[in-house]
Structures are given as structure tokens and as C-alpha cells.
Structure 1
Amino acid sequence: MPDSTFVVEHNLGTLTPKVTATKKDGSTVKLKFKKIDADNISVKVKDTLNVVIRVVQDPDKPAKTANLTLRDGLDFGLRTVMMLRNVSVSYSNTYNMSLPGFMPSTELLGQTRRSGYIAPGMDFAFGLTGDDYLYKAIDRGWLLKNDSIAYSAASTEMQDLQIRAVVEPFVDLRIDLNSNWTKTGSGEIQYMYEGMPRTRSGSFNMSVITLGSAFERHTSANGYRSAKFSKLLDNMETIKGRLEDIYDGAPYPAQSSRRGQTFNKAGDEMDLYSSDVLIPAFLATYTGRNASKSSLDLFPSILSMLPNWNLTYSGLSKLPFFQRYFKSFNLRHAYRSAYAIGSFNTYNSYMEYMNGRGFIEDVTTGSPIPSTMYNIGSVSINESFAPLAGVDMTFNNNITFRLEFRKTRVLTLSTASVQLVETNSDDITAGAGYKLIGVKLLGSRPGTGRDRVSNDLNMSADFSYRNQNALCRNIMNGTTQATSGNRAIRASFQADYTYSRMLTLNFYYDFQSNFPLVSTAAYPTSTHDCGFTLKFTLSR
């Protein structure tokens, strides 16, 4: 470079840089430079030089950055305001009703006039109805009621709410947030019979956060003790007391064996192991809520859902050290947790008291006992870190490598057997890949037609280690037993070679080994799978 003064933009944001100049032979040249600002310096030379200039933070001097200016403050403020990049909300509510035995015929727009009313009505035609439409149809004489014909009205409904957001607190950090709340149901009303008995079934799913106990360690040395499980047993008593306060003074149904009497919490008790007690206590315990104030609903409201997230950071690849070895270097973390009711149905003996609470008949004694209308056999919380920590990298020589640590936990509460089954799994996975372009193997000669395609060789290798175990916690006696456990190792290698436009060669090797940790009936196993395939494609 000729004699001149030129500006070097280093963008380090420091006022104490260290500048070195290196020739092709590795020798260094001392340069005079002047700091312009935190991101630029000016270098003045007298002779013609061919050097590489490197600017870093001087390790012998404390880092000193430029003072915050008004513009910097405005930039930071705008970045904070604009960190929420995208928000999407999707809500759907679908409802279907089938009414066999509907007698009026249809004319214009599916309507007809009968007994002074338009049947079935514009509200029905445009879907603005619910189960209460059945009573309207019966009152107006639109439905056939005959003891010899058993008709039933059927309905299905679904509510689904999805909320997604993208947040970028600063450059190269992206956080994807998502929440969901879904409830499905189907019902049947036997309107031909007195009292019009009804049944209902469905499922429920909602995103939650259950981080409080995600990293509890359970060992055989302490009997697999869990602080959260102990908290669950305490919360059950709290929830039971709150429900008894609600029912205190409630009159027993007129059609029950205790008609004319009222529920007295001094002498009558809620069943400690009923789903009305177990499920709210389970939710309060593992979502970290106070059982004295938490919701008693078996189906928490939309306001109870919490966000899950997916985090990606790619800023390390911009640092000089990482640029020297990597084309890209990304860090990843993701969290998912969902509360789910796989299925529910209603009690046939349910008798309403108020606001979805009432009484059912005890199958043993026939006496009325407090309960909601829903019979729920089990609920679950499915939590996963996928991954807890992960890194994806591409080296400058195009070798790709990934490393992940995953952690999953499934908590299944069985109200039928009064047990809590806790399944944990820890996974470590690693993988590498490399692609060789234009590799001429297996008799490649000019004029054979193979020069029309790129003979690429793709190679990949993967390794995984999994430690899985299951614990069964008995809620009645507070004991825990290990029911299953397994350690699994897997290693695999695969190579694909594009021999020609129509022929692809594949070689694979897969090794798996399993070591049971609990069951005496099982034994360690190992499998090896190796071979190659030829894929021949005919095309016009």
C-alpha cells in the first residue's frame, strides 16, 4: 500500500485496541495508528507494505468503551420496543348438532313455517345454537316423541386457541413463543325418555410450565423420594378442605336416598382420592401454584395457559475466534410442557347442584357423594427439553457437527388406581456429516456418461445414549417403586454415493445395545445391522 493515511473499521466497540501488522513471511511490522472512535482507527504509513492488519481488544488494558450517546440511547429504546417481531392469534370454535326425528319439512333457505314459528329457525341455519336448541325444538313440537322409537340428539364441538410470537431481544437471538388451549367434546341427549338423560365425552390439552420439579434427582438410596410428590399429598388435604367449604350446606338431590338433608362438612366428607381432589392438587403441585388459591377446575380456563419456547442464538459465529474455524455456530434450546386429559365422559347418576358441581351415587352404598359430572380416568403432564442444550456447527471445510442433550418427563396421574407414574428420559446425541463433491470411483472413465452428473459422496455418523426409568408412586400409602429402567446406546454410519444419473449406492451400519436396569426378566441385548442397497431409477 502506498504512503497514505487510511481508516480501518473494526467494529469492536472499544477505545483500547491492539493493532498488529503481519507480512507474508510471518514477521511483524510496527504501525502507528490513531483512535477515531470506538469502532474505527486511522493508520499512517510511509513506505509501501503488503501486510495483514489485525485489530483486537488489548488484553493488557482494561476494556474501555465509548460513552453512551443520545443516539445510542434512542437505538436501544427502539430495539427494546421492536423486540416483539411477530404475533399471531388463531381461535376456532366449531359446533355440530344432529337432530333425528325433526318433523317439519324445509322450503326456501331450508326454512318452513309451522305452528306460527319458522322452523328450524335462522339461528340453526347459521350455526348460532347450542345444546339448548333441543329444548326449544321440543317446546314448539318440532321433534317426534314416541315410546317405540328411540331417537337421540348428538352434538360435537371443539374450541382451539393458538398464540405464537417471535421475540428478538437483540441481534442474533431469536425466541419463538407458543401457547395452546384445545378442548373437544361430543354429547348425546336421549330426549325420548323422561328426564332426557345425557352423556358427554371428549379430551383436553393446554400448554403449561412445570420447571419447578424438572431437575429433581431420584435415587434408590433415598427411596426415590420426591419433594414435589410430598407436596402433592399435602395439597390434596388443602383442596379437599376447599371443596368441602363449597358443598357445606348444599341440599342433597330430591331423587337421592338423602333427600331433605344437607351436606355438613362437620360430619360429611369429600373423598380424598376422588378426581375432584386429585386433579386440582396435581396441577397446583407441578405447575408451582398455591393450592389455597389455585383453580379447582378440572379443565383450566384459557387464562391459565402458559407459553412454551424455542431459543436460537447465532451470534458466536461473528466473533473472530469462531470465524477462524466455523462457517456457522448456533446454540439451541427448546421447552415444551402440556397438561392433557386423554378422554373423559360423564356419570350417568350425576345430579346437578350448582355451577357444574353436584352429586353422584356411590356404586357401593347408593348414597349421594359430592362430585362434578365428569368421570376422568387419568390426566398427564408431558414435559420435554428438546433440547435442553444443543449446538449446530459447520466448519470451514464443510464438515457439519451437532451435539444435543435432551430431557423428557411424563407424569401420569391415574385416578382409578390412585397412582402417579413418573417416566424420565435423558438423551445425549451427536452427529457429523460431510459431503465430497465429484468423487470418481468404481471405474469412472471419460465417455461413459457419468460426467453428466456430479458424483457426490455423502457421509454421516450418529451416536446416541439414553437413560430411561419409570417410577410408580402410590398416593394412598405414599410409597414409590421403580418399575422399569433401561440404558440404550446406538451408533450408526451411512454413506450415499451418486454413481450415475440412474444409479445410487448406499452403505449403512447400525449398532444398538440395551441394558435393563430394573426388570429381572429382561437381559442385555445388542444388535448389529449392516449392508448396502442399490437404487436404480428409470426415467424418460
Structure 2
Amino acid sequence: YIVWPDENRINVPIELFTDAKLARDDEMRKAGSAVSIQDEFEIEHKGWNKNRNKVKIKGSPNLGNVQVIMMGVRNRKGQLNTGPKAVEVWVNELRLSDTDEKGGWAANARLSTRIADMGSVTLAGRTSSEGYGSINQNKNSRQLDDIHEFDVAASLDLGKFFPEKIGVRLPFYYGYSRSAHNPKYDPLKPDIELSKSLEHAENKQERDSLKFISQDLITRKSINFTNVKIEPQAQKEKTHLWDPENFAVTYSYNETKKRDINTEINGDKTHRAMFSYNFSSRPQLIQPFSKVQFLQKFPFKLIGAFNFYPLPNQISFRTDLYRRYNEVKTRNITNPNFILPATYQKDFMWNRFFDLRYDVTRSLKVDFSSRGTSRIDEPEGRMNKDDADYQWKKDSILNSLYDLGRPVLYDHNFRITYMVPLNQIKFLNFLNANISYDGTYNWLAGPITADTINLGNRIQNSQNWQVNGNMTLTSLYNKVPYFREVNQKFRRTSRTRGSINQQQGGRQNQQNEQVQAKTLEQTFTSNVKLETNVAQKVTHKLNTKKIKVVATGTDAKIIPVKVTLIDANVIEITPLSDAPQAMLTVSGKPGDQAFLKDLADLATRVVLLSFQNISATYNQNGGTVLPGYLPEPVFFGGGNYLPDPRLGYSAGPSYAPGFPFLLGWQDQDFAQKAAVNGWITNDSTLNTPYMFTKSERISFRTTIEPLPDLRIDLTSDRAFAVNTTQFYNYDYSTGNFNANSFTESGNFSMSTITWGTAFFSFGKGNDLQSEAFENLKAYRPVIAQRLAAQRPANNGFGYDPTAPNSNFPGYPDGYGPTSTEVLVPAFLAAYQNKDPEKVSLGLFPSIKYMRPNWNIRYEGMVSKIPGLNKYIRSLNFSHSYRSSYNVGSFLTNLKYAAESDGFTYIRDLSNNFISPYDFNSVSIIESLSPLINIDIMWMSDLTTRGEIKRTRSLQLAFANNQLTETMSNEYTVGVGYRFTQMDLIIKTKKSQQAYSNDLNIRADLSYRKNLTLLRQLDEDKDQLTAGQSAFTIKTYADYMLSDRFQMRIFFDKIINTPFTSLSFPTSNTNIGVSFRFTLAQ
């Protein structure tokens, strides 16, 4: 019994399906054929199973889209046997075999030649056949096209045709490339090879057409003349504005043509012509009064130092024309008889750039740059010389060029900086001050609309003022000789830890010798002539009265002398015998006077000279955006403009938008002025607001160094930003513009001090009560009374500031416990630990309420401190404090309306006077990071570290009268040790390697506690909503195997324990080995 008879074997060549498709298509093309693409067409599998196997095709299937092949058994309709039956079908194997593994080939050729000193020409070609690919690519990844590419490039300096002395520079570049991809498969029938489709073509014309449209062809052509100019061969001593080398010309032409099965033509042409002028110089400084002697002295020195530069440093101008013409015609594959129209894309732009850099004086510098862009409008349709309307289109383009195009963009920006010449005044040369002003202007053309709609254009400007002042107080102190001596004595000696480690050996010994020199006995010797009973004075400068005097002769015998003490530095000696040559020796230890002087110098440094530097910065930014602007830029962004009376404007001619606006000046009423002058469109469809922005920031910084290596930085800042929007609409009944929907929004922040409540503790156990929060609630009546006292009585609205609040006893009328104007000052007073009678009542406190934050650092060696220098090598200490009051965002209260007395009498649902602004929340963010940090390096190479950090965030929300308080405390201790020159041997199977480097070991333990509390103002209820404690252990040991290769072993563990039932305790452990290799140092 044969299990697998040959008759049941099915062998299906893939090409059998494509042959069926080709046969069906050939049948369809026959004259009088009734076969259609929707009919079922059948062919026999010749040469297999006695030609009994059949292949059928219907429609236009594509084998390239086949994803699944399935074996199945089907019962024919109409031949169903209703009797009992049993069928068992076995399929042994389904496989794909005899795949086409044919490979391909590729060749490259390149020829480069140099034409003397004129340039070079390069020819390159590349061809590759179907099946070509890299050695690691499979059959499916290799290319399926025959690719033929050709490139030619020439780069020449045509200026060599001119005499060398003229200096003509004429760079020329020509490039041409052609890339043709001939596909293996017919793009219209992706599962049939193109060669078979060409064989089945009816005639040569059809065969050539199919071959043409199947090819992907890209040709590129480029012609460039870049930076054509005249360069002088000899160096000029002086440059002039009219020198020929300042001018340059550039022209480029690029053309790209593409076609493929879907695209009949995709042609892209670009032209760019540019003319540029660039003048750069180093003008000589002119000082007209430098030789006038009396003007070189105070108080005329500022006049004597007057100077200016006669010419700008740089003037540049560039104008370029850019034209792009793109034509795309898509091939209609499904219905070739219906020709699709071509599409055209045109861009014809004219750009103009101008730059000026002028150092007017040594102190005054001006930079200006501008850009203008115009569009040359072209008629619709293609540009072809064979078209009947070509001349009309050409004339239209030329006329637009003569008119300089249609403006679409203009902007300029400039910067003026001025260094105040305080250095010319001797007694003020410790002061530095500079002022800078940046201004910008931008004009943007509006969209092209129907004649009945005029949305106008958009203009905007901006400005930035910045004033910097700095006082270098050390320069002021050094004007006094004694102060200069003290500053030099206590000059800063701190070093980074790295430099301490590198220099500790020699520097340590040197400093120890200096310490010992101040405590050991000092001597003074001098050769003197002694006569019996003749007194003489000797100045020894030992600065002590406790001295010992010895006189010896040439024979080393002691000569008796009588000593009389004059002062700590002078004695009088009277010899009792003669000695023509004697050596006088005075010895002693420094006395108390030296100590007193050092103490006085130290007190002077700490009390009088500790302030080293004070600086201040003021920054103001502003911007204006005006939509619907009608005038167009003519010169410098502006020009004379006469409103069209036919549109209802009655204003006369004016210069728009005015020089102040062009210079970036900010005027909140500018929109109203523009409306009066007829600069704004009266089209009712314009629905874009007028916007005005302004922000101010002021900051101070002070550096204090009371002792060497001890530095205290004090910083404070205040920032306020306001954004204004308003709509201007034209009222046809009155002929005027009306401003409406005025809104303001912004943010605010200011440095403050909340140290007084930073360490307030909660109650015991579950009592989460806060003393500061209780003060907040208690301060509200005080603040309310102060606010009411500012208001005058108003009989028209029936208001009496002394009247009690009917809803809230203890509060005045109009100011209840939930009023925003009450809560904000109470919030600040409570958490700043201030008297509520003295706190600012404003929602945005003024500059006088700024408070400094600080940062304290000590980084130095302790070798000069007796007792500690035996154990400690260096000691670093740091402490930082920062706190800020913030208003994240505010918005104009649309219900607010002030009366003639400046106050509003509109009330909210709680009977409180409404605030001019709506606040979402205010907050205080406090950080002591760190509260204290001590880092000690011991003499034994042991390092220890301790750190405490505290942070606090307080957010008062007015929507629910709720305070969210978030706190975090972290405690960290660490220890490390360095084993110097530790030996390590690493063995392998074949060898071993010995190392002798430092081993660093470190361990850090930290405990962090986070809490989030909700405190209700309306209820005496405090709730813990989130929080956890985290215990962290981090240890590591690293060893340098070489100067670039480091090995580290580490162990980290974090244990989190939540304080609420909303989360679970977690524990994370990391342990491992890491290697780091440094490629460059």
C-alpha cells in the first residue's frame, strides 16, 4: 500500500500564477474578445499530472501581497451525496523550494583631473545590477533594480583669465548628475517581471512606452557663481567705504527633474541672485581734549576723557532674489485616457538685510540689524514661452519687480549699551554701572482675502531695559593704607579639596613652620663698637620687652654691659669696658603687643571690611501686539500713511506707527492712538485682541567675607509680570473704535524670610495643630480692621467703615474671614512671624518688603588652629536658606469696578468686597538645603560627613479656603576611608596582574520624612493626606585599576514606610559591580 502516491503530489511553480495572468491579459487584448477582468479565466498546468491540474484567475491579484497560503478541501455544489461518508485527508508537508538565489554585481569608476591652478573636473559613474547587496544581506534585502548613475562636477576659478594685478575672484561651479533605476518587476503588475511584460506587448510603440514609464529617472543640474568680487593683492593701510572689495555678487541655478510610474514630470527650478556689501574697519579713537592738561584733573576729567570713533566698525547690506518654480504632473494609471492637470508651485521672494555695528565711544556701543521681505506675485498657471499668454505673464512679473514686490515681512532689532564712566572719577572708581536697551519691531502681512474683507496686518514690538550696578568694596577699602594692609593680611586662602589633597605635604610643613615662628624665641645681632661708660641706642624690632642682651668680643669672651629698656623695639646699652669690635645679640619672644595688634586687625576686618561686594540688577521687559494694522512699511519699518476716506476714516496723514513704537517703546494706550489716526481696520470680522505685556525684575546680591575662607552670600529678588488683552471694535453708528473686554493676568514672586516659623512643631500624637496656622486664623480680624480703616465712609452706598459685620462678629462690614484681601496679608504675617499691624496689606508687596536669603560656606584648612591641626586636615561647612512668596497666576475680576473714591462697593456671595484680581492660590516655598552640612577630612585619611535638610511648601487655595502644607526633613551621616597604595592581584588561567592603587570606601545613611497636611480655614480640622519615611543605605568601594579604568562594588537599600493606608511599605535593594573606562581626559 503506497501511503504517498505520486498522483497526490502537488507542485506549484510560482510563475504559473503570473503566466495565468499574462495569458488572460493577452486574451483580453485580442480583437473581438469577450473575456473581461472580472471573468474567471482558467489554464492547464502543462507537464504535470497529465495536465489535469488547473489554475484559475479572476480580477487582478498581486502575489506580492500574499501573506498566507492555506491547504483546504472543498465539496462541489450540486454534487453533495447525502449518504453516509467518511473522509480522512493527510497533508505531509508544505514547503517553498528552488528560490532564486541569483546574485548581482556592481562597479564604480571615478576620474579626477586638475587644470593647472584654475580648478578641477571630476567624473564619476556607478552601476549595479538586480540582486546586488552586501554580504550580510539576505535575498529579500538586496536591490531589485538595475541602477546606473553618472556625475560630472567642475570647480573653476575663472578669475585666472583676468590680469593678476586686478584681483578678480570668479569662482564657478557646474554639476550634473543622472540616476536611472530600471526595475525588475513591472510597476503596474508588481508580481510580473518587466521583461515578460515587454515580451507580451503588442508592438514596439507599446513596448517603448512601458519601458519609459517604468523607469525611475532623476537628473540634477547646478550652475553657481559664488561670491564674485575683486580682492586687492596688496594689503591696504586704510580701508574706505567705496573700496571695490566691499562688494560681492552671487548667482546660482539649480534644476531637478524626476519621473516614475506615478509621475509624468516633477520639475523644480530655483534661481538665486545676490548682491552684498560689507565694510569692516578698525577706526582710530579720537580724543579731542587729551592734551588739555587742566581737563585731565578733577572735576573736569570726564570732559577730558571724551572720545569717539568717526566711523562704524561694520556696515553690511545684502539683497537677494530667490525664485522657485515647481511643476508636477501626475500620471493617471487607472484611466490613461483621462489626463490629470498639472499643478504649479511658485515662490518669488526679494529679501533685503542691513546690519550696523558702531562703537560710538569706548563706553557707548550700538548694534542694529533689519530684514525686509517682499513677494513678487506671479500669475497663475505654467510659465512656458510657447504659451500665448507668456508675454503678459512676463510683463506682470516685471511690473511687480519695478514696484519692489508686495511687502510680507519686516523686522529690525537693535541694542544700545552704555558703560557709565565712573572709573574716570578717582573716588568713585570702585563703582561699576552699565545700562543696556534692546528694542525690536516686527511687521507681518495679513492673509490675502476677498475684496470685501480687510483683516489688515500685524505689528509688534518689544523692549528690554537692564541696569547693572556693582560696588567692589575691597577697592574702596584699599584706598586707606591701613585697610589695605589688613586685607592683605587676611586674604582668602581657601582651596578646593582636590588642591588640598595634592598640595598638603609641602604646604602643611610650611604652615607649621609659620605657626612655630610666631611662638619661638627670635634674635637680633649687630656689630658694634663699645666704649666704656658711653651709652648708645640699639633698635632690635623684636616687639617685646622681655629680652636678653649678650655682647661678645673677637675672642668670644662676654663683655659686661648695662641695659636700659626704652620700648618694645629699642634699648640703650652702656658697656663697662672697651671693645673696638663686638657682636651684640638681643633675643626674646614676641610680647603681648603683637597679639593685641592682631586682635585689632581681626576686629577691623570683621566689623569694617567684611562686606566685599554689593551688586544690583534691574530688568524691565515689555511688548505690544497690534492686529488689524493697515499701513505698510516704507523706510525703517514706517512711512507716511493717509487713511482711505471711502472706508469711513476721517483722520489726516500721519507717520505710522511712529518712531517711539519703531524703537520698541511701550505705551499701553498705543492701540487707542492707532485707532484715532485710522491705522486699524474697521472690519468687523477681525477678532484678535490687542496685547500688552510688561514684566519687572530686581535683584540684589551681597558678598560678605568676615574671615578668610568664610563666605556669606545674601540675595534677594522681586519679579512681577502683567499681560493685558483688549479688543478694539469699530462702531459704525458713531464712527469710533470702542475698547472692550479688558483683562489682565500675570504672576508675582518675591524673596522673603519665614525663618521664624520654620521650626514650629506640631502637637503630640495625632494632634497636627500648627501654631503658625492658628496665628493665620487669629490675624484675620486685625487685617480686616486695617483694610476697613483705609476706606472712607460713603453715604451713597451706605457704607460705614466702623460698622460691624453682621455675618461674622469681630470683623468690619465688607471684610469677612474668607476675603482674599484679608487672607493674603494674614497668611504672610503668620508664616513670617510678623506683627499683623505692620505687615503689608497689598496683594503684591512692594520692594521695601523684600528680605534677603543667604548662603554660608566655610572651605579651608585648619592647620593654623592649635589643637585641631593635629587631627583634622580640612573642614568644610555650609548652610543655605531660601524662601519666596509666590502668586502663580492672577486674572482680572470682571465684576470689579472702582468708584470715584478709588474703591469698589460690589460684594460677593459672602458679602465681602470683591478684589480687583482673582487668585487661584498663593504660596510660600522655603528651603534649608542644607540647614547644616559638615564635611571633615582627618589626618588619617578618614572622611566624615553630616547633613540636615529641611523643605517646606505652603499653598493657600481660595476656592476651598484650604492650606496645603508639605514638609520634608532629611538627616544624613556618612563616613569614608582611603587605603593608599593597596595591593591587588587579579589572576587568570594564563597569567596574573598586580596593581597598587588607592582603594576608596564610603558609606552614607540617611533618613527622610515627608508629610502632606490639609488645613481647613472654615473648620478646626487638620488632616494628614500623604507622607512616608525613607531609610537609605548607600555604600560603595572603588579601585582604580589604571588611570582610565575604574572598578566599583556597590550596595544600595531604600526602605519606605507610608504614614497612610493609601500605599504599602516598600523596600528596594541594588547590589552589583560596575566598571568605568574613560576614553579621554
TM range (shorter): 0.7 to 0.9
CA apart distance, 1:520: 2.2
Partner Cα separation in structure 1 for residue 545 and residue 949 of structure 2: 40
Between stretches 422-431 and 393-402, larger displacement belongs to: 393-402
Give me the identity figure in percent. 32
CA apart distance, 1:196: 1.6
The TM-score, its normalising length taken from structure 1, stands at 0.78
1:91 corresponds to 2:613: no
Q: Which residues in structure 2 correspond to 1:51-90 (within 5 Å)?
A: 66=593, 73=600, 76-77=603-604, 80-90=607-617
Partner Cα separation in structure 2 for residue 43 and residue 430 of structure 1: 58
1:322-352 CA-partner distances (Å, limit 9, x unpaired)? 2112210122222111111122222233323
1:487 aligns with one of 1018, 1023, 1029: 1029
- Contact 1:239–1:281 (8 Å) recurs in 2: yes
Partner Cα separation in structure 1 for residue 970 and residue 759 of structure 2: 14
Q: What residue number does 2:760 align with?
A: 216
1:213-261 CA-partner distances (Å, limit 9, x unpaired)? 111110244833333222211211122222233344458xxxxxxxx63
Q: What residue number does 2:970 align with?
A: 427
Q: What residue number does 1:147 align with?
A: 684
Q: What residue number does 2:849 align with?
A: 304
Partner Cα separation in structure 2 for residue 304 and residue 103 of structure 1: 46
Between stretches 67-76 and 455-464, larger displacement belongs to: 67-76
- Contact 2:628–2:686 (8 Å) recurs in 1: no
Partner Cα separation in structure 2 for residue 355 and residue 536 of structure 1: 75
Residue type matched to 1:91 in 2? Answer: Y
CA apart distance, 1:391: 0.6
Q: Which residues in structure 2 correspond to 1:379-418 (within 5 Å)?
A: 379-418=922-961
| CA spacing shift, 1:339–1:11, aligned 2, 3 Å | farther
1:161 corresponds to 2:705: no
Partner Cα separation in structure 1 for residue 613 and residue 546 of structure 2: 35
Partner Cα separation in structure 2 for residue 471 and residue 497 of structure 1: 46
1:438-464 CA-partner distances (Å, limit 9, x unpaired)? 66646389xx9x99x996654432211
Partner Cα separation in structure 1 for residue 1014 and residue 1021 of structure 2: 8
- Contact 1:359–1:372 (8 Å) recurs in 2: no
- Contact 2:797–2:905 (8 Å) recurs in 1: no
Partner Cα separation in structure 2 for residue 326 and residue 275 of structure 1: 56
Q: What residue number does 1:477 align with?
A: 1019
| CA spacing shift, 1:136–1:458, aligned 2, 3 Å | farther
CA apart distance, 1:187: 2.5
| CA spacing shift, 1:107–1:359, aligned 2, 3 Å | farther
Q: What residue number does 2:1066 align with?
A: 525
Q: What residue number does 1:227 align with?
A: 771
Q: Which residues in structure 2 correspond to 1:336-415 (within 5 Å)?
A: 336-353=882-899, 358=904, 362=908, 370-415=913-958
- Contact 2:879–2:932 (8 Å) recurs in 1: yes
CA apart distance, 1:316: 7.6
| CA spacing shift, 1:105–1:181, aligned 2, 3 Å | same
CA apart distance, 1:171: 3.4
Question: SS state of the match for residue 158, structure 1?
Answer: strand
1:21-77 CA-partner distances (Å, limit 9, x unpaired)? xxxxxxxxxxxxxxx668999999xxxxxxxxxxxxxxxxxxx95498689657744
CA apart distance, 1:209: 0.7
Q: What residue number does 1:57 align with?
A: none
Q: Which residues in structure 2 correspond to 1:447-462 (within 5 Å)?
A: 457-462=999-1004
Question: SS state of the match for residue 303, structure 1?
Answer: helix
Q: What residue number does 2:662 align with?
A: 125
| CA spacing shift, 1:12–1:428, aligned 2, 3 Å | farther
Q: What residue number does 1:284 align with?
A: 829
Between stretches 489-498 and 323-332, larger displacement belongs to: 489-498
Q: What residue number does 1:29 align with?
A: none
| CA spacing shift, 1:323–1:373, aligned 2, 3 Å | same
CA apart distance, 1:83: 1.1
Question: SS state of the match for residue 108, structure 1?
Answer: coil
Question: SS state of the match for residue 783, structure 2?
Answer: helix
CA apart distance, 1:387: 1.9
Question: SS state of the match for residue 101, structure 1?
Answer: strand
Q: What residue number does 2:645 align with?
A: none
- Contact 2:984–2:996 (8 Å) recurs in 1: no
Q: What residue number does 1:201 align with?
A: 745
| CA spacing shift, 1:502–1:335, aligned 2, 3 Å | closer
Residue type matched to 1:421 in 2? Answer: T
2:838 aligns with one of 280, 287, 293: 293
Q: What residue number does 1:182 align with?
A: 719
The TM-score, its normalising length taken from structure 2, stands at 0.41
Partner Cα separation in structure 1 for residue 868 and residue 704 of structure 2: 25
Partner Cα separation in structure 2 for residue 78 and residue 167 of structure 1: 11
Q: What residue number does 1:4 align with?
A: none
Partner Cα separation in structure 2 for residue 478 and residue 78 of structure 1: 53
| CA spacing shift, 1:309–1:454, aligned 2, 3 Å | farther
Question: SS state of the match for residue 693, structure 2?
Answer: strand
Q: What residue number does 1:53 align with?
A: none
Between stretches 172-181 and 77-86, larger displacement belongs to: 77-86
Q: What residue number does 1:3 align with?
A: none
Partner Cα separation in structure 1 for residue 901 and residue 1025 of structure 2: 41
Residue type matched to 2:1002 in 1? Answer: S
RMSD (Å) for aligned C-alpha atoms: 3.8
Partner Cα separation in structure 2 for residue 155 and residue 372 of structure 1: 22
| CA spacing shift, 1:295–1:139, aligned 2, 3 Å | farther
Question: SS state of the match for residue 431, structure 1?
Answer: strand
Q: What residue number does 2:797 align with?
A: 261
Partner Cα separation in structure 2 for residue 264 and residue 464 of structure 1: 59
Partner Cα separation in structure 2 for residue 129 and residue 349 of structure 1: 28
Where structure 1 has 5 or more consecutive residues not aligned to the other structure, the ranges are 1-7, 19-35, 45-63, 252-259
Q: Greater CA radius of gyration, 1 or 2?
A: 2
Partner Cα separation in structure 1 for residue 673 and residue 923 of structure 2: 39
1:241 aligns with one of 785, 795, 798: 785
- Contact 1:387–1:404 (8 Å) recurs in 2: yes
Q: What residue number does 2:231 align with?
A: none
1:106 corresponds to 2:640: no
Question: SS state of the match for residue 632, structure 2?
Answer: coil
- Contact 1:95–1:155 (8 Å) recurs in 2: yes
Partner Cα separation in structure 1 for residue 657 and residue 740 of structure 2: 21
- Contact 1:310–1:333 (8 Å) recurs in 2: yes
Partner Cα separation in structure 1 for residue 883 and residue 854 of structure 2: 10
Partner Cα separation in structure 2 for residue 286 and residue 458 of structure 1: 45
1:394-427 CA-partner distances (Å, limit 9, x unpaired)? 1224443321112222221111111122222221
Partner Cα separation in structure 1 for residue 517 and residue 933 of structure 2: 28
CA apart distance, 1:307: 0.5
Question: SS state of the match for residue 223, structure 1?
Answer: coil
| CA spacing shift, 1:301–1:444, aligned 2, 3 Å | farther
- Larger RCO, structure (CA 8 Å, separation 6 or more): 1
Question: SS state of the match for residue 707, structure 2?
Answer: coil
Partner Cα separation in structure 2 for residue 261 and residue 429 of structure 1: 62
| CA spacing shift, 1:211–1:72, aligned 2, 3 Å | closer
- Contact 2:605–2:706 (8 Å) recurs in 1: no
Where structure 2 has 5 or more consecutive residues not aligned to the other structure, the ranges are 1-512, 522-541, 551-590, 642-651, 731-737, 806-812
CA apart distance, 1:536: 5.5
Q: What residue number does 1:61 align with?
A: none
Partner Cα separation in structure 2 for residue 533 and residue 10 of structure 1: 46
